Amino acid sequence: MSRDTAKAPPPKEPSRKDLPPDGFDESEDDEGALEVSAADDAPEIDFDFEDGAVKAGTEIIRRFWTTLPTSPGVYRMFDDKGDVLYVGKAKNLKARVGSYARGQAHSNRIARMISQTAAMEFVTTATETEALLLEANLIKQLKPRFNVLMRDDKSFPYILVTGDSEAPQIIKHRGARRRKGSYYGPFASVWAVNRTVNALQRAFLLRTCTDSYYENRTRPCLLYQIKRCAGPCTGEIDLGEYQALAENAKNFLSGKSNAVKDRMRDEMQDASEKLEFERAARYRDRIAALSAIQGTQGVNTQGVEEADVFALDEQAGQFCIEVFFFRNFQNWGNRAYFPKADRSMTPDEVLASFMGQFYDDKPAPRLVLVSHVIEDAELLAAALSSRTEYRVDIHQPQRGERKNLVDYAQRNAKEALGRRLADTASQGKLLVALGQSFGLGATPRRIEVYDNSHIMGTNAVGGMIVAGPTGFAKTHYRTFNIKSEELTPGDDYGMMREVLQRRFKRLVKENPRDTTEPAAALGDASEPVPESDTLPAWPDLVLIDGGKGQLDAARTALEEIGVIDVALVGIAKGRDRDAGRETFFVPGRPPFKLPPRDPTLYFVQRLRDEAHRFAIGTHRAKRKREMISNPLDEIAGIGPSRKRALLHHFGTVKAIQRAAFEDLAKTPGVNAATARAVYDFFHTNA
């Protein structure tokens, strides 16, 4: 794969006859169907070639076109600020880019993209399949304005039965599969994984503890006492028998659930006939645990062992893609996605672009079922197959069980999109009411809420949550570790000043705007929220969890850095901290309350409670990390393996601290230099 990156070269101006004819290969021109503009819903029209901005962009594209090869590749369009406008792939770069250089018969969204183009970059690839994979990767990484964007790309959880220990461990897993073992999934949610792991613990008594915890046990833990673990750490079960339990768990997760349950029933019957009723009861409970997993799977399959099902629904110019995961003849959950795409795009175009990004960082199953015909299905299937050791088929079923699965997913997509549209409409009304209640000049589109959390000043953190037209925007949440050493422990006002100054200093630096203008005039914020859910960088409203003192601290912090045009509101808790009795503080107005049953009050309470939840959760996580921190982590050259070796040899950190240098050097896996580093660390800092 080669790369060609340059600003517009200066060759001679190509004449009109040099350009590809208007009627050139339409199969190449169809690739342009993925160009979208999330903000432009105008009808499609033909732009005049003499239009100034479009003409300028076309001339730039022409100059790049003259030097392009006819090989497959990926191209990127940039605006004058260097931001990526669009990422596209082509099996013939020269022909594809030439379609933009014709200067006429462009749709409105493509014309807007051309008018903003100031530069282009190209990467040539060996095959069109490689170009497709690279395109999906770049779209997810760069998030271009004119592409279909998969906005929720959080990795899926898996169940891992480890294979690098004498006693396999069963845990949930996210991310890269670096650890040796058997992976099962994906599951649609962490809740589904936790429920399944808990049931498998009861059924197969597999451990969930870490290896270091397992290696240093001297007596069984509580999980053994409540019959959730077989206790291999202290020899309560023979390792051979424990391995058999692990194999049964793997068989169950691999689709052999009925065979596993049949064996357990036979064991239960055998124990009952021998009057070993306690053993029979244990098998009974294990069978019940497995039945609970199967009983809550929802719709299962009879003839589809492994498949992902994609179904798309469109309403009011918005799209929802519901994805169901079927593994081992079981439904392992589903997730709804709401891709960002122009409403003028067809469903099959949106689905094709979404699937390319969806499988960018995860393996595809052998069968992928879709609700719409995908034009490049064979190309996409070949790209997915190249990443696996088996063939991947993409199929739109017309009848039978597979069609029923797609219909089932499509019903869920329709219902999910309906709920989202209803929620968005309600959210819009609440934002309008909020703007009116606080006397804002316009309906707020971005609301930031701040809260602090600490215990007597220790592990102090600040939290910022963000809400907009579509609800909470969790990708915009931020945490702030309180760093100032001048603050008195427990000084909430000082903490709030530090948090707001750090937040807005960075905002002024990265997204400057004119902050010298006075705040917008107060008025009736009755304008509806725009349909686009793209949040602005600057907040329209800042809510502070606190009363007049906190509000004054926040206002002072912003004034010190020259920010005077952001609306601030303080929320003081009611008497006895009762919800519904909150008092609101707005600069220039006397304190006021909202009616007890006002929907706006409930909305503000939700925002405040979410900020409190986020801040206290961050504080607890920080406190927990400090509580379990190990002095060995601070020693240079001590990684997980040597730390495990030292703890395994001495038992505790205190024993390591008291050990002589000669004893440290005798530890298996620890050389003299490491022993000296450990010895010097504890004795120098004693």
Which has the closest alpha carbon to 585: 553, 557, 551, 542? 551
Instruction: State whether 332 and 374 are in the same domain.
Output: yes
For residue 426, being part of any structural domain is answered with: no
Instruction: State whether 528 and 449 are in the same domain.
Output: yes
Instruction: State whether 138 and 174 are in the same domain.
Output: no
For residue 619, being part of any structural domain is answered with: yes
Rounded to whole angstroms, the Cα distance separating 322 from 170 reads: 29
Residue pLDDT, tens place only, 455-508: 877 888 999 999 998 889 888 999 998 887 777 777 888 889 999 999 999 999
Residue 71 has pLDDT above 90, yes or no: no
Residue 661's CATH number? 1.10.150.20
In this prediction, residue 677 carries a pLDDT of 87
Question: Where among 386, 419, 452 does a domain terminate?
Answer: 419
Instruction: State whether 485 and 375 are in the same domain.
Output: no
> Could you give the number of structural domains in the chain?
5
Contact 2, 72 (CB under 8 A): no
Instruction: State whether 476 and 610 are in the same domain.
Output: yes
Residue pLDDT, tens place only, 171-225: 888 877 788 888 887 777 777 788 778 878 888 888 988 888 888 888 888 888 8
For residue 526, being part of any structural domain is answered with: yes
In this prediction, residue 667 carries a pLDDT of 87
The tokens for 410 are: 């499509």
- Tokens 């397992």 — which residue? 214
Question: Where among 142, 167, 195 does a domain terminate?
Answer: 142
Which position has the higher pLDDT, 322 or 146?
322
In this prediction, residue 612 carries a pLDDT of 92
Listing DSSP states for 249-277 in one string gives HHHHHTT-HHHHHHHHHHHHHHHHHTT-H
Highest mean pLDDT among 50-59, 70-79, 633-642: 70-79
Share of the chain above pLDDT 70, in %: 84
Instruction: State whether 620 and 677 are in the same domain.
Output: no
Coil, strand or helix at 109: helix
pTM value? 0.61
Which position has the higher pLDDT, 125 or 528?
125
For residue 571, being part of any structural domain is answered with: yes
Handedness of CA 246, 252, 253, 256 (dihedral sign): positive
Coil, strand or helix at 510: helix
Q: Which residues contact 403 (CB under 8 A, 6 or more apart)?
A: 397
Rounded to whole angstroms, the Cα distance separating 530 from 575 reads: 38
For residue 151, being part of any structural domain is answered with: no
498: containing domain: 439-625
Question: Where among 79, 107, 142 does a domain terminate?
Answer: 142
The tokens for 546 are: 């606190």
Instruction: State whether 603 and 471 are in the same domain.
Output: yes
Residue 40 has pLDDT above 80, yes or no: no
Angle at 413 between CA 407 and CA 416, to 5 degrees: 145
Contact 208, 247 (CB under 8 A): no
Instruction: State whether 359 and 446 are in the same domain.
Output: no
Residue pLDDT, tens place only, 588-635: 889 998 887 788 888 999 899 999 999 999 888 888 777 666 777 778
Which position has the higher pLDDT, 405 or 35?
405
Residue 409: strand pairing partners: none
Residue pLDDT, tens place only, 368-385: 999 998 888 888 888 888
Rounded to whole angstroms, the Cα distance separating 91 from 106 reads: 21
The tokens for 525 are: 């914020």
For residue 176, being part of any structural domain is answered with: yes
Residue 414's CATH number? 3.30.420.10
Residue 577 has pLDDT above 70, yes or no: no
Contact 316, 421 (CB under 8 A): yes
Amino acid at 116: Q
Residues 641-669: what's their mean pLDDT?
83
For residue 150, being part of any structural domain is answered with: no
Coil, strand or helix at 336: strand
Instruction: State whether 466 and 529 are in the same domain.
Output: yes
Residues 331-336: what's their mean pLDDT?
82
Q: What order of strands is seen across the sheet that includes strand 318-327?
A: 330-337, 318-327, 306-315, 367-370, 393-395
For residue 432, being part of any structural domain is answered with: no
The tokens for 92 are: 């013939």
Instruction: State whether 468 and 604 are in the same domain.
Output: yes
Residue 539's CATH number? 3.30.420.340
Instruction: State whether 57 and 175 are in the same domain.
Output: no
Task: Estimate the share of the chain in helix, then strand, then coil, as percent rounded to the nearest 5.
Answer: 45, 15, 40
In this prediction, residue 174 carries a pLDDT of 82
Residue 207: strand pairing partners: 169
Instruction: State whether 6 and 30 are in the same domain.
Output: yes
Q: For residue 21, what pLDDT band results from cuts at 50, 70 and 90?
A: very low
Residue 13's CATH number? 3.40.1440.10
Residue 569 has pLDDT above 90, yes or no: yes
In this prediction, residue 656 carries a pLDDT of 85
Rounded to whole angstroms, the Cα distance separating 675 from 431 reads: 62
Which has the closest alpha carbon to 282: 274, 292, 272, 273? 272
Residue 335: strand pairing partners: 323
DSSP 479: E
Round the average pLDDT of the chain to a whole number and report it: 79
Contact 172, 197 (CB under 8 A): yes
Residue pLDDT, tens place only, 85-138: 889 888 888 888 888 887 665 677 788 888 888 888 888 888 888 888 888 888
Q: For residue 154, what pLDDT band results from cuts at 50, 70 and 90?
A: low
Handedness of CA 299, 303, 305, 309 (dihedral sign): negative
Rounded to whole angstroms, the Cα distance separating 190 from 552 reads: 41
Residues 16-21: what's their mean pLDDT?
42
Residue pLDDT, tens place only, 269-322: 877 777 877 777 777 777 776 666 555 444 556 678 788 999 999 887 788 999
In this prediction, residue 69 carries a pLDDT of 86
Contact 646, 667 (CB under 8 A): yes
Per residue, what are the HEC states of 425-454?
HHHHHHHHHHHHHCCCCCCCCCEEEEEEEE
